Amino acid sequence: MTVDWDQMQKNKDTTVKGLTSGIEYLFKKNKVDYVKGWGTLKSAHEIQVNNSTGAPTTINAKNIIIATGSEPSPLPGNSIPIDEK
């Protein structure tokens, strides 16, 4: 069995973009603030988020949702091992 790594990466990128764009659309439609970055919960209603440049922003909210991503799916026959470390 051979694997077309470049095509697999293109497919993954297209899938991730479609999923994240869909979530961003739903957030906007439902007036949910969406912040990307590395965050630290400071209290039950406060989170500090560092964006892609590392600049910190403190956010206060009644409700905070943390979306961490999803689990990778193995290829059929486990032809390529996935390092989950």
pLDDT at position 37 is 84
DSSP string for the chain: ----HHHHHHHHHHHHHHHHHHHHHHHHHTT-----SEEEEEETTEEEEE-TT--EEEEE-S-----------PPGGG-S-----
pLDDT at position 38 is 85
Q: Tens digit of pLDDT for each residue in 14-51?
A: 998 998 898 889 989 999 888 888 889 999 899 999 98
Answer whether residue 8 shows pLDDT above 70: yes
Q: Tens digit of pLDDT for each residue in 59-68?
A: 999 988 777 7
Give me the residue spans of the domains in the chain: 7-64
